[in-house]
Amino acid sequence: MSGLSEQLVGEWTLVSWSGIDANGERVFHGGAQPSGELIYLESGRMAVQIQHDGRKRFGSTDWSAGENDERSAAYATYNAYCGTFSLPEPGVIVHHVELAIHPDHPGTDKRREFELEGDELTLRTQDVETPKGPATSELVWRRRA
């Protein structure tokens, strides 16, 4: 494992997830306070989970709870996947997806530009579709103590 990989190893908590749309306006993907966890392991494995703020509850912990529209909204406001990671070039990390909440994501690679400054990790992803069109996507993570 390279020195940079060793610096990424650990648990990270989502601080913010935002971007800029085509009109130059800041957008907050996942709402004002999304929450998430990102883990990089020494073995080269990784996992991430992100949920939008304000997710509506079903009122039951039963797996069959919720009407179809409620389940659809729950799916649309949560993202999770795991797999391995690599650092193919400076400032780039690739998540090699093996399992994911989205059924078409396993087998894909998610390329992220990144900056690591102390205990803060910034990942820049592909654009995210918003009601006003595509917007950039930047996730800021803080290392868990």
pTM of the predicted model over 0.85: yes
Domain 3-143: give its CATH architecture: Beta Barrel (2.40)
pLDDT in tens, 37-64: 999 999 999 999 999 999 999 999 999 9
- 95-144 pLDDT, tens digit each: 999 999 999 999 999 999 999 999 999 999 999 888 888 999 999 999 99
Would the pLDDT of 1 be above 70?
no
DSSP per position, 69-98: HHHHHHHHTEEEEEEEEEEEETTEEEEEEE
Residues 23-39: pLDDT tens digits? 999 999 999 999 999 99
Sequence-distant (≥ 6) Cβ neighbours of residue 10 within 8 angstroms: 39, 40, 143, 144
